[in-house]
Amino acid sequence: MGTKELPGLALPAEARFEAAYFDANSLVPISHGTKDASFQRLLNTASKEKVGLFCPEVAVAEWVQIRVESVGDELARLSSAAGKVKSGIAWDPLVGAPPEDWQDKVESAMRRTLEDAGISVLPAPRTIDISTLISMAVHHTPPFETEDRGFKDAVLLFTVLDHMRSLGQPTGLLVSRDQVFLESAVKDLALAAAANLVVAKDFSEAAMYIEQQHKFASKAWWDAWLARAKSYLDGHFDAIAEFIRQNGVASPSVGTDESNRGEIKQVYGIRPKEVTAVKYGHISGFGESPVEPGWDPVTITVAVELDAQVSRTNWRRYLSASSHVDFKDRLIRRTEPQGPATVESREAVIVSVDLKASLREKKNGFTDLSLVGVYNFQSPLI
């Protein structure tokens, strides 16, 4: 079972998304409205995690143009469908509008769509260096391509980087299907602007990145966070040990080898020994426990010594009934079944138990521990 990833901790700046940006091609699924399920998921996730949503002006213009260029064919299909069923033409805001009005009506409707979704439009920065754009275009530096394309992408990129800089935000999320933004040269431009640009190909992937944004923290940062958590838990081990004693234990199987496999029949004493590991998140499959704002979900693994009555079974000694022909004596001989050898004894067994818990951290370190429940025993440590 994996851990359920629940971001909410005070991440380093390089991991926390504070803004997401949209390219024109990513907005095509909402050209006729925002009922798209993946888009609604992204809006809900961004709202929950306080991620601002923005669309560069150049992307808005391209998105509008894509819609305008498709209007004629779309209206023709609607008219054809309406004629076949002998009913009125299906609703479309452009039905009955002369072609010369399409541009204004489409732009008005699509800007209203963005406004209703809480997406702010970003004007192109006035600080774009024209000589830089010319040099990039001539040398086909991404996002400029060999076919002399890429001007709109370049303006979009500089708009995004300029806005990130104005927020003092080193990490941004760009939703785009354009592979050019994955080029190393684009990443280099971002790094030169002291920015880290993460690219998601669609609404679903963008929502997933925001939900799991803590994965963008560096391994060194995570190692330090988990080490601080482990140190804090070690200092509060008495409370953890008492929680395990008060909540009781399951009766696990012990032994992983067929020669010593067994089952704990009775527990006489529970002696928690030490915290052996801490992981971020809760183990799935044991019911959901909401985590309060400001708290971080953790799974604590504790080594526990049990004074227990153990019934051990040697399954290697088990033989099933069988028959065979003894050709020497020309007789059919039968081997009777022999049961496995089972021995009970009172002994000390060390197992590991996982606890569902939450930690609260402030600037000066962890301040509170909430123990929620005991999962069950995992594999023995011996």
DSSP line for 307-320: EEEEEEEEGGG-B-
Residue 325 corresponds to which tokens in the numbers above? 């022909």
pLDDT at residue 230 tops 50: yes
pLDDT at 253: 60
Residue 11 corresponds to which tokens in the numbers above? 């991440």
Q: How far apart are CA 123 and CA 129, in angstroms?
A: 15
Location of structure tokens 């030490």: 274
Which range, 77-86, 206-215, 255-264, 317-326, has the best average confidence (pLDDT)?
206-215
pLDDT at residue 26 tops 60: yes
* pLDDT tens by residue, 179-206: 888 887 777 777 777 677 888 999 999 9
pLDDT at residue 320 tops 60: no
- Any bridge partners for residue 309, and if so which? 266, 346
pLDDT at residue 287 tops 60: no
pLDDT at 13: 62
* pLDDT tens by residue, 326-375: 555 555 555 555 555 678 888 888 888 888 899 988 776 888 999 988 87
Under the banding of pLDDT at 50, 70 and 90, the label for residue 102 is low
pLDDT at 235: 95
pLDDT at 344: 84
Burial of 238 (0-12, 13-18, 19+ CB in 10 A): exposed
Under the banding of pLDDT at 50, 70 and 90, the label for residue 147 is low
Rounded mean pLDDT of the chain?
Answer: 75
Higher pLDDT, 286 or 152: 152
The residue-averaged pLDDT of 23-49 equals 88
Domain boundaries, the chain: 11-217, 220-377
* pLDDT tens by residue, 54-99: 999 989 988 988 888 776 565 555 454 444 444 444 445 555 555 5
Between 117-126, 165-174, 216-225, 284-293, the lowest mean confidence (pLDDT) is in 284-293
Under the banding of pLDDT at 50, 70 and 90, the label for residue 272 is very high
Higher pLDDT, 195 or 162: 162
Exposure class string for 74-96: b at 16+ Cβ within 10 A, else e: ebeebeeeeeeeeeeeeeeebee
